[in-house]
Amino acid sequence: MTTQQGEPSGDVGSVELRGKVKWFNAVKGYGFLALESDNSDAFLHVTTLRQSGHEDLKPGATVLCSGVRGPKGWQVMKVLDVDSSTAVSTTPKPPPMPEATGRFLVRVSFAPCALPKARAARSTRLSPSPSSPLAKGP
């Protein structure tokens, strides 16, 4: 069998593929390559990546691998080489801000409230009580 790159592959039924990492998430355990030949996607599982001695891949890194075409598309079976020099530097994005929706609307009322008479009298008193130490003069 010939590969997409035009070279025979060592594994039965697999072909040699070359592509750039579209994205890879080690926490999710998988990612995708954009193949150079036709820009189709190739699925890459983290266990396949770990067999080659790598734990993670940065977007844009070039990967040489062998893969098979399945019912859902290309799947990487073995990573042969990783060129991280082609990876693009990414700056961390801030977490997304929650969208403004009507669900969390807080209503503030500015209507005067009625205080109980005893409390209203205490809150409006301007002079200290006669028993207060502040009531005595110098």
List the pLDDT tens digit at each of the 138 positions of the chain: 334 444 444 556 899 999 999 999 999 999 999 999 888 999 999 999 999 999 999 999 999 999 999 999 999 999 999 999 999 876 666 777 666 665 655 566 666 666 666 555 555 555 566 665 655 555
Domain map (residue ranges) of the chain: 15-86
pTM equals 0.58
Q: Please tell me whether residue 64 adopts helix, strand or coil conformation.
A: strand
Could you tell me if 54 and 82 are in contact, meaning their C-beta atoms sit under 8 angstroms apart?
yes
Could you tell me if 34 and 27 are in contact, meaning their C-beta atoms sit under 8 angstroms apart?
no
CATH class (in words) of the domain with range 15-86? mainly beta
